[in-house]
Amino acid sequence: MADIIKLLPDHVANQIAAGEVVQRPSSVVKELLENAIDAGATEIQLIVKGGGKTLIQIVDNGKGMSGTDARLSFERHATSKIQKAEDLFNLHTKGFRGEALASIAAIAHVEMLTRTEEDEIGTRIKIEGSKVVAQEVVVAPKGTSMLVKNLFFNIPARRNFLKSDQVEFRHITDEFHRISLAHPQVAFNFYNNGSDVFQLPANDFRKRIVQIFGRKTDEKLVPVNEETHVVKISGYIQKPEFAKKSRGEQFFFANNRFIKSPYLHHAILGAFEGLIRPGTHPGYFLNLEVDPGTIDINIHPTKTEVKFDDEHTLYAMLKSTVKHSLGQFNVIPAIDFNQDQNLDTPYSYKNKEVGIPQVVVDSSFNPFEAVKTTKGNSTSNYMKSKVDGWESLYSGIQMAVDTKGHSHVEFESEVVNSSIFDDGKEIIDHTTTTFQLRKKYIITTIKSGMVVINQSRAHQRVLYENFLKNITIKEAVSQQLLFPLMLSFSTNEINILQEIKDNLCTVGFVFGEVSQEGVEILGVPVLVVESEVQMIMEQLISDFQQEIPGDSFSQSDMLAKTLAKTLSVKTGETLDEFSQVKLVNDLFACKETTLSPFNKKVYVTITENDIERKFI
């Protein structure tokens, strides 16, 4: 029998490895930025075109490489970070496997330009699909420039799975945020399609956060500091009142490396328990410094998932540290019964005796007596000179007074929410009987029995189809605000709003100035209350961050779903008879009546036979 097991060629093995290391353009950005930081760079430039699919270029002023090292760096598992297996448990650098450049070169056109400080001339290497096209000696500045073009040019299937340029750019921005926050001492410049995105000079951690997420972030931050023999915790958390529905501003760094840890995230949620609204998430920027021997970062190709030796102790320390910071900076309301009241005395009155306040009353003062005071020959009189004609103020007013001399008192009935429908057409079918059950269901009769309708899901379906129609025909009605609303968002959230701004305008939102610091709202759809605009925008941003739709149809669909979910009547709201009938009629006028926009059942039918079987 012939042998059937064969060694794969290097270029095929590199493409297989690239499937783990390079998932999308942001993966290339992450690997190359980490290489630049490991090279000791103090200034790094990131240049992106076409969402990273056309061009990714990273220029640094690090130590650079010699000609031999430059050529060897593209070989598989060639690295300067580790020499033996024990070094894997004492890592102080970002990359260490030596597979990033080989994987990138296998699926893209790569050009490297590098020079060390000792060399007078540099080296340029061009590689296309693992094949070295050219290597030459050139004049180059100190450091390294990596140029990656036409990502996945030789794997069309992988390229077809990439999203739109806006979505890929958003992923690149997320990676840029993570690495620039982990290294505030490094200056970063970020350019996209020829325009500036970020200009971040070297700074401290707090200023770097403010540079990325906007000036208004500074007032939200609460410092966190704790040092033990197990871990050193430093960084900032956001005040509870600034918790958002989206999870964007949540960063853990372990030994200056961004990590994802649902277990430690749960510790943060436990510290904020009772301080934030359900369904919202607190923001935090926390650095954890631990012994490199107690953390394993080699369990995932992206190195964002790590394993700590003693996670339970770390969990307890993190939770107590965050709670301590919330209490120390008076974020948690508290009453101190042991407070020394002498501390409330102003310093200027510290040594003065306490005197009983005196109240002086002029017993001869009469406000109804004409009093003349000579002050600049002016006369003041407390009494009005003429009071004739006061009866005319009450003409036309009839007061109903009972026999005891008290006005009749009328008690208001229970407030009923009937404002969800603005059109006043009389469409009630007086032959139809409806009533509300548990402020959750609407029950109406049909020929064969009755229908039990979930009022929230039914209203979601009605609003969803209305919003989709408005987006399609672009004839939405909006109400202008008397005073424009200024809403503050981070740079990443502003970019998301810029993407969906056109679709928001088609449903009735009117935008004013949109800057990197905030958004001005001039008008809102008819059904939207002014006080709910901030919540609606946060919900929209949260949904778009999680789903990340690419084409315009997906954006319109998600926008309609989010608005329908936010503006629909909720369980617990009372509807009057007109609103109940209107909701039933509008529901059965929809194209799809059985399912809500989120594919949940809207109503159930109970026939007369079903009822009769209950009495057998």
Query: Using H for helix, E for strand and C for coil, what is the string for 120-177?
Result: CCEEEEEEECCEEEEEEEECCCCEEEEEEECCCCCCHHHHHCCCCHHHHHHHHHHHHH
Sole residue written with tokens 């998600």: 558
d(CA 277, CA 280): 6
CA–centroid distance for 582 within its chain: 36
Residue 516's φ and ψ, nearest 5 degrees, are: -75, -10
What pLDDT is stored for residue 329 in this prediction?
75
Which run of H or E residues covers position 513? strand 510-514
| Residue 309: count of CB within 10 angstroms of its CB | 13
> How far is Cα 432 from Cα 5, in angstroms, rounded to an integer?
76
pLDDT tens-digit readout, 320-366: 999 999 888 766 555 555 555 555 556 566 677 777 878 888 888 77
Type of residue at 318: L
Give the CA distances from residue 291 to residues 16, 231, 232, 242, 288, in Å, rounded to whole numbers and listed in that order.
33, 8, 10, 33, 10
What pLDDT, on the 0 to 100 scale, is given for residue 424?
39
CA dist 543 and 244 (Å) reads: 12
Q: What whole-number distance in Å separates Cα of residue 82 and Cα of residue 93? A: 10
> Rounded CA gap, 384 and 309, in Å?
87
- Name all domains of the chain by residue range, CATH numbers in brackets: 10-200 (3.30.565.10), 205-328 (3.30.230.10), 434-605 (3.30.1370.100)
Q: What is the mean pLDDT of each run of 10 residues along the chain (616 residues)?
A: 77 70 89 91 94 93 90 78 60 65 89 93 91 91 94 87 85 92 94 91 93 86 91 93 82 90 91 86 92 76 76 92 85 55 60 77 75 49 58 62 51 52 43 80 87 93 88 77 85 80 84 82 84 83 67 72 86 88 90 90 90 86
What single-letter DSSP state applies at residue 406?
A: P
Output the six-digit token pair for 482: 């008397």
Question: What is 519-569 written as a DSSP string?
Answer: EEEEEEETT--GGGHHHHHHHHHHHHHHH---SHHHHHHHHHHHHHHHHS-
Q: What is the pLDDT of residue 374?
A: 47
Alpha helices per DSSP H over 200-328: 205-213, 262-271, 311-328
Rounded-to-integer distance, Cα 57 and Cα 47, Å: 5
pLDDT of 366: 76
Task: State whether the Cα torsion 463-465-471-473 is positive or negative.
Answer: negative
Chain centre distance of CA 207: 20
DSSP structure class, residue 254: E
Instruction: Please check whether residue 326 is in contact with residue 332, taking contact to mean a CB–CB distance below 8 angstroms.
Output: yes
Return left, alpha or beta for 235; rule: phi > 0 is left, psi -120 to 50 is alpha, else beta: left
Q: Exposed, middle or buried: residue 135 (CB in 10 Å: 0-12, 13-18, 19+)?
A: middle
Sign of CA dihedral 270, 239, 183, 49: positive
Task: Provide the pLDDT for residue 428.
Answer: 40
pLDDT in tens, 466-509: 888 887 776 677 888 888 888 888 777 887 888 888 888 888 88
- Beta-carbon contacts of 105 under 8 Å, excluding residues fewer than 6 positions away, are 14, 74, 127, 129, 130
Residue carrying structure tokens 């693992």: 130
| Chain CA centroid to CA 378, Å | 66
Q: Which helix (H) or strand (E) holds 593?
A: none
Residue with tokens 């999308």: 24
Pick from 92, 81, 135, 141: nearest CA to 110: 135
Structure tokens at 211: 């540079």
CB 506 within 8 A of CB 474: yes
How large is the angle between the packed helices 533-547 and 552-567, nearest 10 degrees?
140
Count Cα atoms within 13 angstroms, Cβ side, for 433.
4
Predicted confidence at residue 461, as pLDDT, reads 93
CB 467 within 8 A of CB 563: yes
DSSP 432-481: --EEEETTTEEEEEETTEEEEEEHHHHHHHHHHHHHHHHHHHT---EEEE
**CA 135 to each of CA 113, 124, 149: distance values in angstroms, whole numbers, following the listed order:** 10, 6, 17
Calculate Rg over the CA atoms of the chain.
Answer: 34
Q: Which helix (H) or strand (E) holds 580?
A: helix 577-587
The b-or-e profile of 45-61 (16+ CB within 10 A means b, else e) is bbbbbbbbbebbbbbbb
DSSP 280: -
Q: How far is CA 249 from the centre of its chain?
A: 6
What does the DSSP 8-state code read for residue 590? S
Q: With contact defined as beta carbons under 8 Å apart, do 330 and 239 qualify?
A: no
Q: What is the pLDDT of residue 395?
A: 63
Strands 250-254 and 284-289: parallel
Contact 82, 38 (CB under 8 A): no
Rounded Cα–Cα distance for residues 98 and 544 (Å): 35
Task: Report angle CA 390, 391, 393 to the nearest 5 degrees.
Answer: 75
pLDDT at position 372: 53
pLDDT, position 540: 82
Residue of 549, 597, 569, 544 whose CA lies nearest to 245: 544
**pTM (whole model) above 0.85:** no
CA distance 414 to 412: 7
Question: Phi, psi at residue 258, to the nearest 5°?
Answer: -65, 135
